[in-house]
Amino acid sequence: MKKPLFIKIIFLILLVYLLIIYLWYLYPSGFFCMEYKNVGKIKLKDLNNGPYLFVVDHEEHPLMSSMIISQELHNHSDKNQKYNVVTKDCNEKFTKLPYFTKYNIIKVKGKTVGKCIEKIKNKENVVIFLRKEKSKNTGIYYILKETKIPIVLIKKKIIKQPDDNSGAILLKYRKAYTELNYNLYDNYEIEKKEPGEFLKWLQNELFN
């Protein structure tokens, strides 16, 4: 292979690679052909008196939760509204893909609660994904007990299911459509509740 041709091929591969990163950065949910709409009265842009603890419905097609929230945070992050996403399991693999993301990642690798509290005290928002029955994330309780910040529950309603018959991941979620609903809780009882009891209340509010 002639050297100029080899250089052109390397340049083309690099160009495609950078294009993929840029498209991911601009439109994470669209990267997997997902569509969504916030149908509630509260929009993310309205929540500017934080910091807040965002708790996201991560039940049923968790990849959709990760992609949609990545898109939301990208659209509304700025120098005054900073977000930190607590990641674990499948959503960590995808939320960390952008190399130039507008939000930060907090990996679940010890002292997660302390890291979240530190970010909140620095006036930054924290985003946590929550499963319905499988989760024992009592860390939410200790974060809120220490900081007393408002909670924002992000409910998810899938209107059009992904195409589960498709083997290719980019096609599997084609035209999947989800509705979001933000719910603000700035007056909640936590001092009189045990961690498990509080988490049960939180799950009931998020998933019902």
What's the pLDDT at 205?
A: 93
What's the pLDDT at 181?
A: 95
Q: Choose the most confident range, by mean pLDDT, from 34-38, 112-116, 192-196.
A: 112-116
- Assign 3 a pLDDT band (cuts: 50, 70, 90): low
**Is 48 exposed, middle or buried, given 0-12, 13-18 or 19+ CB atoms closer than 10 A?**
exposed
Taking 90 as the threshold, does the pLDDT of residue 176 lie above it? no
Domain-wise residue ranges, the chain: 3-207
Taking 70 as the threshold, does the pLDDT of residue 1 lie above it? no
